[in-house]
A and B are shown apart, each in its own frame.
Chain A
Amino acid sequence: MLAYILRRAAQSVLVLLVVGLIAFSMFRFIGDPIDNMLGQEAQQEDIDRLRTELGLDAPLLVQYVRFLSSAVQGDFGVSYGQGRPVADILAERAPATLELALVSGTLAISFGIVFGVFTAIRRNGFAAQAIMSLSLIGVSLPTFLIGILLIYVFSVELGWLPSFGRGETVELGWWTTGFATRSGLLALILPSITLGLYQMTLIMRLVRSEMLEVLRQDYIRFARARGLRTRTVYFRHALVNTLVPVTTVIGLQLGSIIAFGIVTETVFQWPGLGLLFVNAIQFVDIPVMAAYLMLISVMFVLINLFVDVLYFFIDPRLRVDRSEASA
């Protein structure tokens, strides 16, 4: 198993390098950071000097290698926009994004599984059919529209919940949390629903279809033939087998919750990494964009690796199959 993990880790590093390179080459098309920094009236010699200073005159590959070698030492350079180390800026923004992701991820997974199981077990019931129809909305409405609708209803019309920002936060060392204050918690509600709704419906529909598939299996029939309680059949035999294939998707959904938080963070002006990235694009702040993209890729790769390892513990068959396959 250790060999397997090491091999996967090596593959992951390769993936990271490629993703980074692609991201790097795309920055060229966003615009020239020098224009933003010096403005339209800049002298040509100032422009050239700044270009050399920032290393932007070097070939793309060289820039990339420089970026990587300082990145592995924890140095992501200095933001063009804010003039501060990128690492500091990221650390400052990360808590907002992670707390939002934690809340919406928990909502999405727990409601997704509960509704998925319910709609599978009661697949002909009225409530199950109603949930399935409603879930189509969750899948088909774009995130920004859901956010705006929620803001309109709960902030503008009813005035119950804040429409932007994190509310009051409390500092715990370098971490800032919104969990400790009332306004912080209230501020979390609308963004986490907006961010989690799509993932929840996705998980729900997946759990439902997997569960229906599992309920058709012979071992479920045999479990019934042995007179096991309905509860045992559903939750001990069917649900666990359902969750095996669903685990990967759930893992990747968690990744997307952080990555695609960009839209939600923009709609709610949530001071997290996504909003930082959007602002960085406008300013062609290459160090910030590069660091953000690398961070997201690292996160996806780690989640993938984690899910794979998790399989070993859930599914006894893989403990044999995988190690044979790698032998």
Chain B
Amino acid sequence: MGHDLANPVLSLRDLTVEIKTRRGLLKPVDGVSFDIAPGEILGIVGESGAGKSMTGNAVIGLLDPPARIAGGEVRLAGQRIDTLSSEEMRRLRGKQIGMIFQDPLTSLNPLLRIGDQLTETIRTHLDLGANAARERAIAALDEVGIPAAEERINSYPHEFSGGMRQRAVIALTLCAEPSLVIADEPTTALDVSVQAQIIALLKRLCRQRGVAVMLITHDIGVIAEAADRIAVMYAGRMAEIGDVAEVLRRPRHPYADGLLSSTPAASAGQARLRQIPGAMPRLTALPEGCAFAARCERAQDRCRQGAAPRLEADNGRTACWFPIQHGEVEA
């Protein structure tokens, strides 16, 4: 789609997150690799518990102990960032990497004015005086479509509606001009009527500025509408990744197929992920081989033995030994 994947903003290689628990070592993220180009939006889908948030938190350096990055590499514009000290990582947050969370109602400090939260962020990362920071804060609110920004900057969060608060959150995330934004289910907590507006806003602002976006969501409609590529996660591993139109039309991984294909409305928006019989295995009880095998109609002996298939199994598109060949299925 014309995105420069040769010089990605974000590049994950074999990222692995571990949690030490009494019941053993868990891997909520296991060998995940992908790139996001400048201005590109990568949609990440998967059942809850698949490790999507963990991946995002690992990238921005906000894993809660005992979770930690145990292997692989995270590169931002070519620079390794998973090895940075916590203070160096703190400086990157907000300035290079922004993150938007699910619930705009609770993301803003209730006791501070919207304007104060903006200016403190701006002044943390940019060398600006109080007045210049205020100007910039007003411009940031204006850009996300908050009317009368000059007055609303003095409002407290509770004086904003849910949609307005999420706009303010977007303004806060973008105000120091990061090159990567991680949006973790940014519209799940919102009214259906404002979801589309927020996604459109996020898409427009990031496109304009060439910001790379990692968009975690449950909503295939959102993915179809906003994403350039889609990545499907299952039990901490990447199941399938590819161009959004291609994957939605012809998913190759049986899990992606079950999740996505039976939703004819996918490109029309608002379609939710389909339920597949059975449940994702717990991290404490991952089977040998492919984690999806127990729920998979195509599973054979090879799927249940030895190492789990990785994306290379299908030339980098799916992690499946027996991917769906669409010529054969559609015939």
Contact = CB atoms under 8 A, between A and B. Distances in A.
B93 A316 contact: no
Given A222-B101, A236-B120, A241-B111, A316 B106 contact: no
Interface in A271-327: 314-317, 320
Given A218-B101, A226-B121, A240-B111, A316 B156 contact: yes
Interface string B98-129: 11010100111111100000001100110000
A22 interface: no
A29 to B, nearest CB: 49
B28 interface: no
Nearest to A321: B158
A225 B124 contact: no
Contacts of A236: 112, 120
Contacts of B169: 222
B173 A226 contact: yes
Contact of B111 (A221, A226, A316): A316
A152 interface: no
Contact of A316 (B62, B92, B110, B124): B110
A232 interface: yes
B20 interface: no
B111 A224 contact: no
Contact of B120 (A218, A228, A320): A228
Contacts of B109: 219, 223, 237, 241
Given A222-B101, A232-B120, A316-B156, A227 B110 contact: no
A244 interface: yes
A221 B101 contact: yes
A225 B93 contact: yes
B234 to A, nearest CB: 26
Interface string B202-236: 00000000000000000000000000000000000
How many interface residues does chain A have, given as a range? 20 to 34
A195 B302 CA distance: 74
Contacts of B99: 222, 225
Interface string A196-239: 00000000000000000000011101111111111010001100
Residue of B92, B107, B159, B172 with highest tally of chain A CB at under 10 A: B107
B238 to A, nearest CB: 24
Contact of B108 (A219, A227, A228): A219
B124 A315 contact: no
A315 B158 CA distance: 11
B111 A229 contact: no
Contact of A225 (B60, B103, B125): B60
A221 B104 CA distance: 12
B91 interface: yes
B95 interface: yes
A314 B110 CA distance: 11
Residue of A228, A232, A240, A241 with highest tally of chain B CB at under 10 A: A228
B90 interface: yes
B163 interface: no
A232 B110 contact: no
B94 interface: yes
A241 B112 CA distance: 10
Given A221-B101, A317-B110, A317-B158, A226 B124 contact: yes
Contact of B158 (A222, A229, A316): A316
A317 B111 CA distance: 8
A222 B156 contact: no
B124 A232 contact: yes
A314 B111 contact: yes
Residue of A227, A232, A314 with highest tally of chain B CB at under 10 A: A227
Contacts of B110: 219, 241, 315-317
**5 closest cross-chain pairs (CB), A and B:** A227-B94, A227-B93, A218-B106, A225-B99, A226-B94
13 contacts: A218-B103, A219-B106, A221-B107, A224-B62, A225-B173, A226-B121, A226-B124, A226-B172, A227-B91, A227-B176, A228-B94, A237-B109, A315-B110
Interface of B: 60, 62, 90-95, 98-99, 101, 103, 106-112, 120-121, 124-125, 156, 158-159, 169, 172-173, 176
Interface of A: 217-219, 221-230, 232, 236-237, 240-241, 244, 314-317, 320
Given A226-B94, A226-B124, A236-B112, 11 more contacts: A218-B101, A218-B106, A222-B169, A225-B93, A226-B172, A227-B90, A227-B95, A228-B124, A237-B112, A240-B111, A315-B110
